[in-house]
């Protein structure tokens, strides 16, 4: 922060505490590969800005705290069928909680909010020849129980001159914000 006051009573400081924990499991069963992760992130932040009111009096202009919690789980599966076809699926879930408040007398503000997110993707990748690769994805997302439209995507990769590294790539996808 920028403050050009010369007195010793004008100060700003910030304390932050973070916790990050994650667990992971993975295994292979022939052509099937499975992987799962679960985790928890917590961030706590306390920021204070105090200034001199004159005559040795101090007032806090900002006394803000925020605490965020993020809990997540992700599972991936990939299945190789021969050398040229791979099927994959992914599902992820997130829970966010935020509590943010400024209790200084000048600007008492704040909010408490949460959000749940779930997303899933299924995809297929096919490489029938050395020079051609094709992939397709289908994605669905939910936020607080409300589904977004399905998000499809199609990808193609053609190697034109392998010795020169010349490839032609293209994709067609729907986007949703």
Using CA atoms, how far apart are residues 64 and 145, in angstroms rounded to an integer? Answer: 31
Using CA atoms, how far apart are residues 72 and 90, in angstroms rounded to an integer? Answer: 13
Please answer whether residues 12 and 3 qualify as being in contact, where contact means their C-beta atoms are separated by less than 8 angstroms: yes
- Could you identify the residue written with the tokens 């992939």? 135
Please answer whether residues 111 and 127 qualify as being in contact, where contact means their C-beta atoms are separated by less than 8 angstroms: no
Q: Enter the pTM of the model.
A: 0.78
The 10s digit of each residue's pLDDT in 81-132 is: 988 999 999 999 999 999 999 988 777 899 999 999 999 999 999 999 989 9
Q: Is the pLDDT of residue 54 over 90?
A: no
User: Coil, strand, or helix at residue 59?
Assistant: strand
């Amino acid at each position: 922060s920028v403050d050009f006051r010369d007195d010793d009573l004008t100060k700003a400081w910030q304390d932050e505490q973070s916790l990050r924990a994650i667990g992971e499991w993975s295994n292979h069963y022939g052509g099937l590969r499975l992987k799962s992760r679960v985790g928890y992130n917590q961030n706590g932040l306390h920021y204070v800005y105090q200034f001199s009111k004159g005559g040795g009096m101090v007032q806090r202009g900002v006394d803000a705290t925020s605490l965020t919690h993020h809990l997540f789980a992700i599972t991936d599966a990939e299945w190789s069928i021969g050398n040229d076809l791979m099927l994959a699926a992914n599902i992820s879930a997130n829970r966010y909680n935020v509590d943010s408040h400024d209790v200084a007398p000048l600007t008492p503000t704040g909010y408490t909010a949460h959000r749940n997110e779930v997303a899933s993707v299924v995809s297929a990748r096919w490489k029938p020849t050395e020079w051609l690769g094709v992939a397709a994805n289908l994605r669905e997302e939910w936020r607080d129980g409300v589904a977004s439209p399905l998000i499809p995507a199609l990808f193609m990769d053609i190697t034109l001159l392998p010795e020169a590294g010349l490839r032609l790539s293209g994709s067609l996808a729907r986007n949703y914000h």
